[in-house]
Amino acid sequence: MTHLEEFARIFQLPPAMLPHIEFVAQGEEIALVVALGDGPLTAEQIAARLGLSAAETAALLDSAYPRHIVNRSALDGVTTYSPATFYHRLDPLSMYENWGDVPADARDAVIQWQLEEFINIWLPVVDELRADPDEYIRIPNRDVLLLDEALAMVDAASERVVVPCDCRSIVMACKRPLETCIRLDAGAQHTLERGYGRSLTRDELKQLVVNANRNGLMATGDRYWREH
């Protein structure tokens, strides 16, 4: 197996993107993912595998993390890194990078691949909801919200971030406002930690929600948010 094939396996890269790898990862990022393999490593272990200094490794990880090349976790004061996957790399690629420069046939193939992946991930959860619609199960956009319900969520949040809609950024087939995906509290903090998103005041975000509503977009969220 070649170096690139090993990266494609670990990163779960759809075949359509292999000829366009330059949009996905740079050479040092590919080497990083291959060095990580299938398990988490500390920065010191990564440096040893790549033959880099501590400073070089830190700089590489700091740039790879917001691009969803790697994931980061901390347990008992020890920070480790593991490979991300293309399924999550697609969000920053389409929302903030040059996704539109990827050839249309490759984009179309990735869109179909991403839809199938999404269905495979969430179908078991949907089956649980079908069995008991009132069961508390976290699933993206599980409930359609009325405007006043969406505004109540904004009012209650202490941290608020907006990002471009990942679905519409990927598909590129909608002329309605794009910067409409809202992350609140823990979701907002994680988004900012990843290095993207735009912080808004409570009033700014409420106006954004109203404007999205006026442009024909529906608010979705979790109707159990007060309890959880």
pLDDT tens figures, 173-190: 988 999 999 999 999 999
84: helix, coil or strand? Answer: coil
Burial category of 214 from C-beta neighbours within 10 Å (exposed 0-12, middle 13-18, buried 19 and up): exposed
Q: How many angstroms separate the CA atoms of 41 and 60, rounded?
A: 14
Q: How many angstroms separate the CA atoms of 148 and 153, rounded?
A: 9
pLDDT tens, the chain, 228 aa long: 798 999 999 999 999 999 999 999 999 999 999 999 988 999 999 999 999 999 999 999 999 999 999 999 988 889 999 999 999 999 999 999 999 999 999 999 999 999 999 999 989 888 888 888 877 777 778 889 999 999 999 999 999 999 999 999 999 998 899 999 999 999 999 999 988 999 999 999 999 999 999 999 999 998 888 887
* Burial annotation 153-165 (CB, 10 A radius, 16+ → b, else e): bbeebeebbbbbb
Burial category of 96 from C-beta neighbours within 10 Å (exposed 0-12, middle 13-18, buried 19 and up): middle
Q: Which residues contact 210 (CB under 8 A, 6 or more apart)?
A: 147, 151
For 4-35, what is the HEC assignment? HHHHHHHHCCCHHHHHHHHHCCCHHHHHHHHH
Q: What are phi and psi of 219, to 5 degrees?
A: -90, 135
- Give the type of residue at 58: A
Q: Please give the span between the terminal C-alpha atoms of the chain, in angstroms, as a whole number.
A: 46
